[in-house]
């Protein structure tokens, strides 16, 4: 059967919707490009609680570039600690098994730096004082770049899509902390009202679970808490 060439006007009309669909969302593009922009908040005995996680921070938050008028993350450098206190006895036993510590009642660790994603922690920190202007800090930028590599290589997810949902849909804020502790392996600590389906870290699908700790390690890695 002889093939008939499509008129140019028809080809253009078919390709235009495809091009429009492929065009990146400007808010998403801005989120992906956001980096520590020089604004900082100094924290002294700053406490932040989100579900089962408790943080204490002494140091500086290096804020990411605002998008849609909101700061969706920050790099922390200083003296920090977190505690994960299981919500039930069963969860405590599971955490003790994963941590290989029969006597464990909660996970407690210290860190010198962390990456926080979501607007909640930054908004709470801003209540202690307005951000100070400045030039981007090289150490904070380096920590951010390292996290972005981890997100792609080890976490196998794109948190910026979830941040985009938060900004555009006015969702209850997602909270993600990436910490490289002194006692336990590097971990992502997550609280998401949409449940783990919205994050899908490292190929795990936990259904409606809203809080979890996923650990990156060659032999101990996986979901330690959910």
Quote the CA–CA distance of 184 and 63 in Å, as a whole number: 26
Residue 58: strand pairing partners: 79
Q: 34, 144 in Cβ contact below 8 A?
A: no
- Its pTM surpasses 0.75: yes
What local confidence, expressed as pLDDT, does residue 133 receive? 95
Q: Is residue 106 part of a domain?
A: yes
Q: Is residue 163 part of a domain?
A: yes
Q: Is residue 19 part of a domain?
A: no
Q: How many domains does the chain have?
A: 1
Q: Is residue 35 part of a domain?
A: yes
* Cβ contacts of 189-193, under 8 Å, gap ≥ 24: 189/53, 189/82, 189/84, 189/213, 190/214, 191/50, 191/51, 191/52, 191/53, 192/162
Helix (H, G, I), strand (E, B) or coil at 147: helix
Q: Is residue 17 part of a domain?
A: no
Domain range for residue 144? Answer: 27-225
Q: Is residue 99 part of a domain?
A: yes
What local confidence, expressed as pLDDT, does residue 9 receive? 43
What local confidence, expressed as pLDDT, does residue 203 receive? 44
Q: Is residue 7 part of a domain?
A: no
Residues of the chain under the 70 pLDDT cut: 1-23, 171, 196-208
DSSP letter at 150 equals: H
Q: Is residue 71 part of a domain?
A: yes
Q: What is the pLDDT of residues 116-129, one digit of tens each?
A: 999 999 999 999 99
Residue 174: strand pairing partners: none
């Amino acid at each position: 059967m002889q093939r008939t060439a499509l008129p140019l006007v028809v080809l253009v009309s078919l390709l235009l919707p495809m091009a429009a669909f492929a065009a990146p969302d400007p808010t998403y593009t801005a989120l992906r490009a956001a980096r520590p922009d020089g604004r900082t908040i100094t924290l002294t005995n700053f406490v932040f609680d989100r579900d089962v996680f408790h943080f204490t921070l002494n140091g500086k938050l290096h804020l990411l570039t605002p998008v849609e008028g909101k700061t969706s993350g920050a790099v922390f450098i200083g003296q920090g600690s977190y505690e994960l206190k299981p919500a039930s006895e069963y969860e405590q036993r599971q955490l003790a098994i994963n941590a290989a510590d029969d006597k464990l009642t909660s996970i407690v660790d210290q860190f010198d730096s962390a990456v926080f994603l979501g607007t909640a922690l930054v908004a709470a920190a801003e209540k202690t004082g307005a951000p100070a202007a400045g030039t981007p800090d090289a150490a904070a930028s380096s920590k951010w770049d390292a996290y972005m590599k981890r997100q792609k290589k080890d976490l196998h997810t794109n948190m910026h899509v979830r941040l985009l949902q938060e900004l555009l849909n006015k969702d209850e804020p997602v909270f993600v902390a990436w910490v490289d502790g002194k006692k336990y392996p590097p971990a992502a600590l997550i609280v998401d009202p949409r449940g783990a389906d919205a994050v899908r870290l490292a190929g795990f699908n936990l259904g409606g679970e809203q809080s979890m700790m996923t650990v990156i390690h060659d032999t101990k890695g996986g979901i330690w808490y959910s």
